[in-house]
Structure 1
Amino acid sequence: MSHAPDPSPYDALLLLSFGGPEGPDDVVPFLVNVTKGRGIPKERLKEVGQHYFLFGGKSPINDQNRALLDALRKDFAEHGVDLPVYWGNRNWAPYLTDVLREMVTDGHRRILVLTTSAYTSYSGCRQYRENLADALAALEAEGLELPRVDKLRQYFNHPGFVRPMIDGVLKSLSELPEDVRDGAHLAFTTHSIPDASANTSGPVEGHGDGGAYVREHLDVARLIADAVREETGVDRPWQLVYQSRSGAPHIPWLEPDICDHLEEQHGKGVPAVVMVPIGFVSDHMEVLYDLDTEATAKAAELGLPVARSATVGADPRFAAAVRDLLLERAAKERGAAVTPCALGALGASHDLCPVGCCPARAPRPAAAGVDSPYA
Structure 2
Amino acid sequence: MIEASRPDYDAILFVSFGGPEGRDDVIPFLENVLRGRNIPRERMLEVAEHYYHFDGVSPINQQVRDLIAAVRAELPRHDIDLPIYWGNRNWHPLLPDTLAQMRSDGIRRALGFFTSAYSSYSGCRQYRENIRDAREQIGEGAPDVDKVRMFYNHPDFIAANADCLSVALDQIPAERRNACRVAFTAHSIPDSMAGGCDYVRQLQETARLTAEACGIDASRWDLVYQSRSGRPQDPWLEPDIVDHLQAIREQGVNDAVVAPIGFLSDHMEVLYDLDDEAAKASAEVGLNMVRAATVGTHPRFVTMICKLFAERLFEDVPREAIGQFGPNWDVCPVDCCPPPARPAGRPASRG
Q: Could you tell me the TM-score, scaled by structure 2's length?
A: 0.93
1:217 aligns with 2:203: yes
Candidates 198, 202, 213, aligned match of 1:227: 213
CA distance in 2, matches of 1:350, 1:263: 39
Structure 1 contact 7–83 (Cα < 8 Å) conserved: no
1:242 aligns with 2:225: yes
Superimposed CA distance per residue, residues 182-219 of structure 1 (whole angstroms, 9 cap, x where no aligned partner): 11001000000011100101xxxxxxxxxx11100000
AA paired with 1:263?
Q
Structure 1 contact 176–306 (Cα < 8 Å) conserved: no
Distance 1:174 1:236, change over 3 A: farther
AA paired with 2:196?
T
Correspondence for 1:87? 86
Correspondence for 2:347? none
Correspondence for 1:136? 135
Shift in Å, 1:316: 2.1
CA distance in 2, matches of 1:235, 1:321: 26
CA distance in 2, matches of 1:66, 1:7: 27
Correspondence for 1:253? 236
1:159 aligns with 2:145: no
CA distance in 2, matches of 1:3, 1:156: 26
Structure 1 contact 275–309 (Cα < 8 Å) conserved: yes
AA paired with 2:210?
I
Shift in Å, 1:236: 5.9
Shift in Å, 1:280: 0.2
Which moved further from structure 2: 119-128 or 72-81?
72-81
Correspondence for 2:312? 329
Shift in Å, 1:360: 2.5
Aligned residue for 1:13, secondary structure, equals strand
AA paired with 1:37?
G
Superimposed CA distance per residue, residues 143-194 of structure 1 (whole angstroms, 9 cap, x where no aligned partner): x313222111111111221111101111111111233211100100000001
1:200 aligns with 2:189: no
Shift in Å, 1:361: 4.1
Distance 1:195 1:3, change over 3 A: closer
CA distance in 2, matches of 1:297, 1:43: 25
Shift in Å, 1:110: 1.2
Structure 2 contact 99–142 (Cα < 8 Å) conserved: no
Correspondence for 1:366? none
Shift in Å, 1:77: 3.3
Correspondence for 1:351? 330
Superimposed CA distance per residue, residues 32-69 of structure 1 (whole angstroms, 9 cap, x where no aligned partner): 00011113344432221111111111101001001001
Correspondence for 1:176? 172
Correspondence for 1:29? 28
AA paired with 1:237?
R
Shift in Å, 1:338: 6.0
Unaligned 5+ runs, structure 1: 202-211, 363-375
AA paired with 2:328?
S
Q: Could you tell me the TM-score, scaled by structure 1's length?
A: 0.87
Unaligned 5+ runs, structure 2: 342-351
Distance 1:235 1:118, change over 3 A: closer
AA paired with 2:14?
L
Aligned residue for 2:214, secondary structure, equals helix
Structure 2 contact 187–228 (Cα < 8 Å) conserved: yes
Shift in Å, 1:247: 1.2
Correspondence for 2:273? 290
The percent of aligned pairs where both chains have the same amino acid is: 51
Shift in Å, 1:96: 0.5
CA distance in 2, matches of 1:38, 1:224: 37
1:360 aligns with 2:339: yes
TM-align CA RMSD: 1.7
Superimposed CA distance per residue, residues 298-317 of structure 1 (whole angstroms, 9 cap, x where no aligned partner): 11001111111110111222
CA distance in 1, matches of 2:171, 2:5: 43
AA paired with 1:171?
V
CA distance in 2, matches of 1:361, 1:301: 36
AA paired with 1:342?
A
Aligned residue for 2:170, secondary structure, equals helix
1:279 aligns with 2:262: yes
Aligned residue for 2:185, secondary structure, equals strand
CA distance in 2, matches of 1:6, 1:356: 29
CA distance in 1, matches of 2:170, 2:24: 40
